[in-house]
Amino acid sequence: MAWRFALVIDPVASDEERSDYADTLREIDPDGPALGVGELSAQRGDGIFESLGVVDGHVQEIEPHLARLVHSAALCDLPAPNLGQWRVAIERAARAAGEGENVMKLLLSRGVEHGPAPTAWITLADAPDNSRGRTEGVGVATLDRGYALDVPARAPWLLLGAKTLSYAVNMAAIREAKSRGADDAVFVTSDGYLLEAPTASVVLRFGDRFVTPEPQAGILHGTTQLSLFAFLEGRGFATSYETVPAGDLSRADAAWLLSSVRLAAPIRSVDGADVPVDRAFTDELNAYLLSPRD
C-alpha cells in the first residue's frame, strides 16, 4: 500500500468552537514512525476508526462517517470528537489525494498509557485494487459469531456496533473463510441470523425489495449500505432493516458485500454452493457508488 499523507491531530473538546485548528494539526512523514510505545491503540486495540473512500479527490460520505465516529466514541467512553476539527483535518488530507481511488482513515485512540489525552491521526493511501471482486464477485463462508441475537443488548461492554480498532477477530474470520476455499466470511449468530462480513455489510435482494440485517443486532451500520438504500429508494425499490435468517443468504435473488473501499461485491457462492449474480445491476450500483456522494 502506498501511503500518501499522514496528519497527527491534537484532539480539542467537542464543544470548543474555533475558526482555525492549524495549531492542533501536525503533518508527518507517512512512512516514518509516529506513535509512542505506550500507545493503547497498539497495545490493546483501544480506539476507534473510520475508513472513507476517496474517488478522484472527492471524499465520500464525510458526515455519515463522522456520525459513526461520534457513535463509536460514545459506546467506548472516548471523548466526543470535535467535528469542526475533523472536517478541517479531512480537508487537509484530501488535498493529497490523487486520481482514482484512495482510502482515508480517521483514528481516535484512548491515548498513551497514563498519558493526559487521547491521540488521533488521519492517513491517506492508495486504495487496493477491488475491481475483481466488484465484477467477478466473492465466495463467502458463513461463520458462527459465537453469540445470540440478543447479546448486544445484554452485554453492551462487548462494544458490538462500535467500529473499534480491535479487528483481530475479524481478520481471523477471513483467514478461516479462506482456509475453507472462500474469499470472505459472513458472520451469523449462534441462533441462526445473518449479521455482517468482517469488513463489510450484507445486503440481500428479493424481487424489488432490498434487505439488510438491523444494526441493533450488534453490527456496524454501514455508510455504504445507507447510501445505497437511498439510491435504491430513489429508483422505486423497497428497502428494509430486518432480522434475517441465515438461510436467506442462499435463497436471495442476489446478495452483496458492501463497504466504503470495496463498494459492492456480489456474492457468487455461499459455503461452496453457487448463488445468482446480477452483473449488469451490480455495475450500475458500483457506478453510483463511484460517483461523488455526500
Binding region for ligand PLP (CB under 6 A)? 51, 196, 198-201, 220, 222-225, 258-260
Please identify, using beta-carbon distances, which residue of 54 and 200 lies nearer to ligand PLP: 200
Please identify, using beta-carbon distances, which residue of 88 and 257 lies nearer to ligand PLP: 257
Task: Provide the minimum distance between the beta carbon of 118 and ligand PLP in the complex, in angstroms, as a whole number.
Answer: 21
C-alpha cell, 77: 467512553
Please identify, using beta-carbon distances, which residue of 12 and 122 lies nearer to ligand PLP: 122
Say if CB 101 and CB 53 are below 8 A apart: yes
d(CA 208, CA 41): 43
Backbone φ, ψ for residue 220 (5° rounding): -75, 140
Residue positions counted in the chain: 294
DSSP symbol at 158: G
Please identify, using beta-carbon distances, which residue of 6 and 69 lies nearer to ligand PLP: 69
Strand ranges inside the chain, DSSP E: 3-9, 25-28, 47-55, 58-59, 101-109, 119-126, 138-144, 184-188, 201-206, 209-213, 238-242, 254-259, 263-270, 273-274
Task: Provide the minimum distance between the beta carbon of 199 and ligand PLP in the complex, in angstroms, as a whole number.
Answer: 4
Task: Provide the minimum distance between the beta carbon of 30 and ligand PLP in the complex, in angstroms, as a whole number.
Answer: 21
Task: Provide the minimum distance between the beta carbon of 33 and ligand PLP in the complex, in angstroms, as a whole number.
Answer: 26
217, 211, 229: which is closest to 285 by C-alpha?
229
Task: Provide the minimum distance between the beta carbon of 223 and ligand PLP in the complex, in angstroms, as a whole number.
Answer: 3
State how beta strands 263-270 and 138-144 pair.
parallel
Task: Provide the minimum distance between the beta carbon of 131 and ligand PLP in the complex, in angstroms, as a whole number.
Answer: 18
Please identify, using beta-carbon distances, which residue of 92 and 262 lies nearer to ligand PLP: 262
Please identify, using beta-carbon distances, which residue of 105 and 178 lies nearer to ligand PLP: 105
C-alpha cell, 236: 422505486
Task: Provide the minimum distance between the beta carbon of 116 and ligand PLP in the complex, in angstroms, as a whole number.
Answer: 30
Please identify, using beta-carbon distances, which residue of 85 and 199 lies nearer to ligand PLP: 199
What burial class does residue 197 get, using C-beta atoms within 10 Å of its C-beta: 0-12 exposed, 13-18 middle, 19+ buried? buried
DSSP symbol at 194: B
